């Protein structure tokens, strides 16, 4: 089995533009990631339109509410047959258990730990004494014990987490191809590196969507995998 682990993040406001981009690169990606912005703007209709391309859909909705509401939301998106759905691990054990129980058999339910937009001060402000890394590890363990399929994590930590959670399903965003012109080559994680370290899904947005030639960019990334 050598299917393409790249899920293209379609963070574009217009449905027609998102569809055109996905169509253009569809032979060289493994799936499509649709976020909260897309879902709020285009809803089920938008997802149905992109389903026509025949690629797996990742609904990155980051659900976080009381268990009953999250379970009902999972049931409401069941008809869209998402391959992957995200929930916030900070929603707690019961919420994650109920989310997983309500999801379709073919849907991976994946936990978001600590958003990379939050730093030490932000966590302190909401009463979390641990730093971002410690808190992320704690929530990863909770997600695993609540029966989720995996977590979202950075390319810098996927290797270490994979060692502790052998059959986990790991979604890794924030990747940059080696030729992306990033001067600081030491700190970037390439799609190939993340895959070798145990990533199940590579979320890639702007390196493809903002490329002068998105098809060439998608092909170039595919060729490294
Ligand atoms: O940076 P890029 O455009 O490749 O990001 C692709 C997707 O990954 C976006 O939808 C973004 O929200 C998500 N992302 C994330 N965590 C990060 C970086 C990006 O969830 N640290």
> Could you state, in order of their start, the residue ranges of all structural domains in the chain?
6-224
pLDDT of residue 123: 95
Which residue in this structure is represented by tokens 């050598």? 2
The strand ranges marked E within 19-134 are 31-35, 57-63, 84-88, 108-112
pLDDT of residue 42: 97
Element (H, E) at 7: strand 6-9
- In angstroms, what is the span from residue 36 Cα to ligand 1's centroid? 12
Check the CA dihedral 26-28-31-37 and report its sign: negative
Give residue for tokens 């379709």: 104
Q: How far is the CA of 40 from the centre of ligand 1 (A)?
A: 18
pTM of the model: 0.95
The rounded percent of the chain whose pLDDT value lies above 90 is 91
Ligand 1 site: residues with CB under 6 angstroms? 9, 11, 35, 116, 173-174, 203-207
Measured from the CA of 35, which atom of ligand 1 is nearest?
10
Residue identifier of the C-alpha nearest atom 10 of ligand 1: 9
Measure the CA–CA gap between 17 and 21, rounded to whole angstroms: 6
Give the span between the Cα atoms of 84 and 98, in whole angstroms.
16
Residues belonging to the active site: 62
- pLDDT tens-digit readout, 101-139: 999 999 999 999 999 899 999 999 999 999 998 999 999
Quick: pLDDT tens for 166-211: 999 999 999 999 876 655 666 789 999 999 999 999 999 999 999 9
Determine the distance separating the centroid of ligand 1 and the alpha carbon of 204, expressed in angstroms.
7
User: For the chain, first and last CA: distance in Å?
Assistant: 13
Rounded to the nearest integer, the mean pLDDT of the chain is 94
Quote the tokens at residue 78: 């069941």
User: How much distance in Å is there from the Cα of 117 to the middle of ligand 1?
Assistant: 11
Residue nearest to atom 6 of ligand 1 (CA): 205
Q: Tell me which CATH code domain 6-224 carries.
A: 3.20.20.70
Neighbours of 30 (CB within 10 A): 18
Ligand 1 nearest-atom number relative to CA 116: 21
Residue 195: half-sphere exposure toward Cβ, Cα within 13 Å: 19
Residue in 173, 182, 194, 204 to alter for ligand 1 test, most ligand atoms within 8 A of Cβ: 173
Mutate to test the pocket of ligand 1, among 6, 8, 9 (most ligand atoms within 8 A of CB): 9
Which ligand 1 atom minimizes the distance to the CA of 152? 20
Relative to the CA of 206, which ligand 1 atom is closest?
3
> What is the Å distance from ligand 1's center to 174 Cα?
5
């Amino acid at each position: 089995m050598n299917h393409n682990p790249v899920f293209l993040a379609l963070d574009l406001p217009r449905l027609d533009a998102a569809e055109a981009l996905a169509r253009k690169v569809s032979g060289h990606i493994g799936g499509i990631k649709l976020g909260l912005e897309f879902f709020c703007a285009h809803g089920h209709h938008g997802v149905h339109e992109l389903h026509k391309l025949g690629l797996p859909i990742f609904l990155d909705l980051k659900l976080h509410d009381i268990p009953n509401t999250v379970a009902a939301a999972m049931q409401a998106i069941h008809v869209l047959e998402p391959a992957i759905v995200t929930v916030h691990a900070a929603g707690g054990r019961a919420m994650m258990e109920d989310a997983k129980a309500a999801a379709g058999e073919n849907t991976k339910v994946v936990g978001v730990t600590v958003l990379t937009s939050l730093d030490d001060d932000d966590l302190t402000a909401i009463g979390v004494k641990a730093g971002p890394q410690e808190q992320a590890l704690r929530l990863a363990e909770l997600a695993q014990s609540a029966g989720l399929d995996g977590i979202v994590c950075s390319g810098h930590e996927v290797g270490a987490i994979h060692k502790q959670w052998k059959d986990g399903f790991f979604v890794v965003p924030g990747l940059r191809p080696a030729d992306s012109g990033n001067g600081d080559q030491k700190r970037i994680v390439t799609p190939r590196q993340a895959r070798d370290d145990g990533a199940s899904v590579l979320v890639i947005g702007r390196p493809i969507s903002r490329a002068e030639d998105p098809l060439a960019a998608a092909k170039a990334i595919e060729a490294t995998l």
